[in-house]
Structure 1
Amino acid sequence: MDYDKLEAVMRRTALLAGARIMEIYGANDFEVRTKSDTSPVTEADEAADALISAELAAAFPGALIVTEEQAESHAESAENFLIVDPLDGTKEFVQRRGDFTVNIAWVEAGQPVRGVVYAPAKGRLFYTRADGQAVEETGTFALDTAGPVTPLSVSAPDNDALIVVASKSHRDKATDDYIAKYSVQDMTSAGSSLKFCLVASGEADLYPRLGRTMEWDTAAGHAVLVGAGGRVLRFEDHAPLTYGKPGYANPFFIACSPGVVLRRA
């Protein structure tokens, strides 16, 4: 893979998709339907998916593109592949909370090695550079010219005063019981893959997820966090979370700075 091309294409594609999503977000109303798994889907999910799929297919012909909104792609597999959640945090989108993202990642041999997470309503753009370093770009986000970037680096946490981030829409007693095993100074919540980015930027130390997720939900944020020096581990045994699993479903996991002393369930 040409990582310089990948960086440019993923960044540009995420910005294009984010602009289309915001057009629909700004409308007076939009249709919300329920998929077979009971999750919501909107016109914005489908429009962003079509745009991203077309851009990636044109740039990387022959590459497998696994995307949430195309069920037929979930039965395909490859050692290396692109994986997309065109609108992560649809519940936040529907409720107009702003914590939704465009996620695009490149997986090699079971690990997401490059990714972009764009939160258009928040004006935050995170991605991995061609060299693997995770950055946050600031400015006006021109399509073909990157603006100033800040390299991301995870925190050096104080295990007696951790900052924990958890889901807005999927918080439950099991998660709260696990968080209670730590000495927590501050607790924050965020939607979508922004939680990975808050750990990557050092704004949080620990993000545990004791609930169902799919690889398209996590791959881009995972890549950004690893590019900032962080880790994403399986909850049950603290082994690295891998990708390309049958059906693309994830086990429970923990995303964290390496300095966090992890607790067992």
Structure 2
Amino acid sequence: MNYSDLMTVLRRLSIEAGDKIMEIYNADDFEVKTKSDESPVTEADEAADALISAGLREAFPDVPLVTEEQAASHSIDARTFLIVDPLDGTKEFINRRGDFTVNIALVEDGVPTRGVVYAPARERMFYTNSVGHSVEETGPFKAGTKGETKDIRVTEPDNEALMVVASKSHRDQATDDYISKYNVKDMRSAGSSLKFCLVATGEADIYPRLGRTMEWDTAAGHAVLAGAGGQVVRFDDHTPLAYGKDGFANCFFIAYAPGVDLKQG
């Protein structure tokens, strides 16, 4: 895999998908449907998925592709693959709260190694560069040009005053009970995979997730966090969160900056 070519394509497709998403987001109205698992899906999810999938299949025809909106791809059995959530944070999109992202990642041997997370309504983009280090790019974002980039890195946490980020739409009592085990200086809520990116930039130290997620929800954010020096582990035994699982469903997990004194659940 030529990582430079890969990231050029992933960045371009995320921007093009973001443009399509914002076109629908800024319309007076848009259609919302319900999938078989009772989760919502909009025309923006479907349009972004069609655009990204076509681009990836053209550029990387030999790499298996897993995408949330194409159920047939959920039966792929592979350890190395591309994985897409064309619009993560659909509830945030529907409620026009802005915390939604385009997520595209490469998983190699069960590990997310490259990825892009683009939040078009927030005008923030995070991605791994060709050597696997994570950067944040400053907009405005255009597929044919590149803005200024800066390296991002997790901070050294203070276990007596941790910065915590948690889900905006999926917060529950179990999450609050776990967070209460830590000495928390400040806590913020964020939607979608932006939570990984806030840890990656040092805006937060830890993001615990005690709820259902799928690998397409987390792979790109996981890659960005890893490229910034962070880690993502299983909630139960604190071993690395692996990808390519049957059905692509995640267990509970914790994303954090090394140095956080992880507590048992």
TM-score (norm 1): 0.99
| Cα distance in structure 1, aligned partners of 2:136 and 2:27 | 28
> Corresponding residue for 1:43?
43
| Cα distance in structure 1, aligned partners of 2:131 and 2:228 | 12
| Cα distance in structure 2, aligned partners of 1:178 and 1:136 | 30
Deviation at 1:2, TM superposition (A): 0.5
| Cα distance in structure 2, aligned partners of 1:139 and 1:15 | 11
Tell whether the 8 Å contact from 2:100 to 2:191 is kept in structure 1 after alignment.
yes
SS at match of 2:224: helix
Structure 1 unmatched runs, 5+: none
Deviation at 1:205, TM superposition (A): 0.2
Structure 2 unmatched runs, 5+: none
Moved over 6 A (4+): none
> Corresponding residue for 2:145?
145
| Cα distance in structure 2, aligned partners of 1:6 and 1:77 | 22
> Corresponding residue for 2:93?
93
Which amino acid is the alignment partner of residue 194 of structure 1? L
| Cα distance in structure 2, aligned partners of 1:52 and 1:139 | 20
| Cα distance in structure 2, aligned partners of 1:240 and 1:78 | 18
> Corresponding residue for 1:209?
209
Tell whether the 8 Å contact from 2:79 to 2:243 is kept in structure 1 after alignment.
no
Tell whether the 8 Å contact from 2:67 to 2:216 is kept in structure 1 after alignment.
yes
The one-character-per-residue Cα deviations of 1:54-110 (angstroms, maximum 9, x if unpaired) are 010111112111000000000012221000000000000000000000000000000
> Corresponding residue for 1:259?
259
Deviation at 1:145, TM superposition (A): 2.8
> Corresponding residue for 1:135?
135
Deviation at 1:142, TM superposition (A): 2.4
The one-character-per-residue Cα deviations of 1:4-46 (angstroms, maximum 9, x if unpaired) are 0011000000000000000000000011111111100000000
Q: Does 1:82 align with 2:79?
A: no
SS at match of 2:116: strand
| Cα distance in structure 2, aligned partners of 1:96 and 1:253 | 27
> Corresponding residue for 2:186?
186
SS at match of 2:105: strand
Provide the alpha-carbon RMSD of the alignment: 0.6
> Corresponding residue for 1:63?
63
Which amino acid is the alignment partner of residue 165 of structure 2? V
SS at match of 1:250: coil
Which amino acid is the alignment partner of residue 111 of structure 2? Q
Which amino acid is the alignment partner of residue 153 of structure 2? S
Which amino acid is the alignment partner of residue 24 of structure 1? I
The one-character-per-residue Cα deviations of 1:107-144 (angstroms, maximum 9, x if unpaired) are 00000000000000000000000000000000322212
| Cα distance in structure 2, aligned partners of 1:140 and 1:247 | 37
> Corresponding residue for 1:219?
219
Tell whether the 8 Å contact from 2:138 to 2:148 is kept in structure 1 after alignment.
yes
| Cα distance in structure 2, aligned partners of 1:197 and 1:62 | 29
Deviation at 1:172, TM superposition (A): 0.2
SS at match of 1:213: coil
Tell me the number of residue pairs that the alignment of Structure 1 and Structure 2 aligns: 265
> Corresponding residue for 1:249?
249
| Cα distance in structure 1, aligned partners of 2:74 and 2:99 | 25
| Cα distance in structure 1, aligned partners of 2:227 and 2:257 | 12
Deviation at 1:155, TM superposition (A): 1.0
| Cα distance in structure 2, aligned partners of 1:93 and 1:139 | 20
| Cα distance in structure 1, aligned partners of 2:67 and 2:17 | 14
| Cα distance in structure 2, aligned partners of 1:142 and 1:25 | 18
